[in-house]
Amino acid sequence: MESTPAPGENIAVLRKARGLGQAKLARLAGISVSYLTKIENGIRPTTPPLAAAVAKTLHVPVQRIYGQPFLGLSEQADLLNELRGAVRRYTLPREDVPDPAVLAADVDKAMRLRAETKYLELLELLPRLLGQVTATALSSSGEAGAWTQVSDVYGCAYAAAHRLAQSDLADMIVSRQVWAAQQTWNPEAEVVAAWNEAGTYQSAGQYGDGLAIVERAVSRYEQVAGADTPARALSLGSLHLRGIVLASRHKDSDATADHLRKAKRHAERIPNDVLKHNLTFGQENTALYELAAHMELGKPDKAAEMAGPLIRTPPATLTPNRLGRMYIDVARVRLETRDYAGAEQALEKAFEVAPQMAEVHPMVREVVRVLFVLHQRARPKLMEMAKKTGLSG
């Protein structure tokens, strides 16, 4: 089946190249030898925290464990190179200032494509759009709204680079977004930049540093924010959602509970989830983060209990980006609880609502890979998903 080495295979190769036995690597990474053996043999998925712990021990990037990036189409690689060039020229846009109404429509389109996980279409739009919003902002004599548009478009670019496993490009984009947000005098724009900055630490497995970014952003925002408005709830609540992920992957149950409690409190102000400046927040999205945190903290039964109602009645106000991630997390929950048919069904839903995300998401690949190892090869839908993710030809 394999067209690329499995993460477990990569771990075994790197471990042997460094002269480490399984017992020593397991001890250094804080896991059991039997768990490491199952990872290397492909019968347990390599989760983000596990990949981060092993990568740190082996002194390699997390992406080296997963074998990313999974570029696939040459068209995709070409589009990423164009985006990289546009980001590099962040103070030297080649584009002219367009009509404001046309520009606003294109910015809205980019944010919609991001929410719908249509990354290839987004990549086609971004290089030109980045140049146009930047040219507009540079000619606006510091007008805050123009710079907010720049920040929003960089947020879309970050989503594409992150999801396509371009960690160096994602880091560069975030630095540009922070720069743009600082020109806005808009605290909400700075929150979005901090959200993505913490995301770069999350991708690198540096969860403690990511939490520090979140905590600093919360403190700064609380110092300048006004009354208890929905906008304030969205900004602070979104930061706490990022904190839930980072703390749970850091295996800090107290910090996870604290961020979850605060996120729920802010979500009471927003009963129907809203999407603004590329941040989604409300009670439904908060529930998805809680489900994922249970998995990271080793509580799959509790996660499965939450997953049932979510699957029976999928959140109606969430975008494909969030729904796709929900189904991926549910597939992981069901795999852990040995509901293999249910895991496959959840993956099918992920491909249905967010196909471009599902094709490149590392946990989709891991769940599909483990299902194959567990002798599910005869299932045609599983074979189809394996082909879409590049696991079979």
Residue 350 maps to a domain: yes
The residue-averaged pLDDT of 113-119 equals 96
Residue 383: pLDDT above 90?
Answer: no
pLDDT in tens, 141-163: 878 899 999 999 999 999 999 99
Q: Which of 26, 45, 67 is the last residue of a domain?
A: 67
Lowest mean pLDDT among 216-225, 282-291, 367-376: 367-376
Residue 81 maps to a domain: no
SS (H, E, C) the chain: CCCCCCHHHHHHHHHHHCCCCHHHHHHHHCCCHHHHHHHHHCCCCCCHHHHHHHHHHHCCCHHHHHCCCCCCCHHHHHHHHHHHHHHHCCCCCCCCCCCHHHHHHHHHHHHHHHHCCCHHHHHHHHHHHHHHHHHHHHCCCCCHHHHHHHHHHHHHHHHHHHHCCCHHHHHHHHHHHHHHHHCCCCHHHHHHHHHHHHHHHHHCCCHHHHHHHHHHHHHHHHHHCCCCCHHHHHHHHHHHHHHHHHHHHCCCHHHHHHHHHHHHHHHCCCCCCEEECCEEECHHHHHHHHHHHHHHCCCHHHHHHHHHHHHHCCCCCCCHHHHHHHHHHHHHHHHHCCCHHHHHHHHHHHHHHCHHHHHHCHHHHHHHHHHHHCCCCCCHHHHHHHHHCCCCC
Look at residue 3 in the predicted model and tell me its pLDDT: 57
Residue 86 maps to a domain: no
Lowest mean pLDDT among 57-71, 217-231, 259-273, 298-312: 57-71
At 200, the pLDDT band (50, 70, 90 cuts) reads: very high
Look at residue 393 in the predicted model and tell me its pLDDT: 59
Look at residue 72 in the predicted model and tell me its pLDDT: 53
At 68, the pLDDT band (50, 70, 90 cuts) reads: low
Q: Higher pLDDT residue, 12 or 63?
A: 12
Average pLDDT, the chain: 92
Look at residue 67 in the predicted model and tell me its pLDDT: 78
Q: Which of 67, 93, 108 is the last residue of a domain?
A: 67
Look at residue 312 in the predicted model and tell me its pLDDT: 92
Q: Could you list the residue range(s) of the whole structural domain that residue 3 is in?
A: 1-67
The residue-averaged pLDDT of 52-68 equals 87
Look at residue 176 in the predicted model and tell me its pLDDT: 97
Q: What's the number of domains the chain is made of?
A: 2
Look at residue 142 in the predicted model and tell me its pLDDT: 75
At 381, the pLDDT band (50, 70, 90 cuts) reads: confident
Look at residue 74 in the predicted model and tell me its pLDDT: 52
Look at residue 78 in the predicted model and tell me its pLDDT: 85
Residue 361 maps to a domain: yes
Q: Higher pLDDT residue, 3 or 8?
A: 8
Look at residue 70 in the predicted model and tell me its pLDDT: 53
pLDDT in tens, 31-49: 999 999 999 988 899 999 9
At 76, the pLDDT band (50, 70, 90 cuts) reads: confident
Tell me if 255 sits within 8 A of 167, measured CB to CB: no
Residue 132: pLDDT above 90?
Answer: yes
The residue-averaged pLDDT of 235-253 equals 97
The residue-averaged pLDDT of 90-103 equals 96
Residue 343 maps to a domain: yes
Question: For residue 52, what is the domain's CATH number?
Answer: 1.10.260.40
Q: Which of 67, 87, 114 is the last residue of a domain?
A: 67
Look at residue 75 in the predicted model and tell me its pLDDT: 61
Residue 317 maps to a domain: yes
Question: For residue 306, what is the domain's CATH number?
Answer: 1.25.40
Lowest mean pLDDT among 2-16, 135-149, 375-389: 375-389
Residue 11 maps to a domain: yes
Residue 121 maps to a domain: no
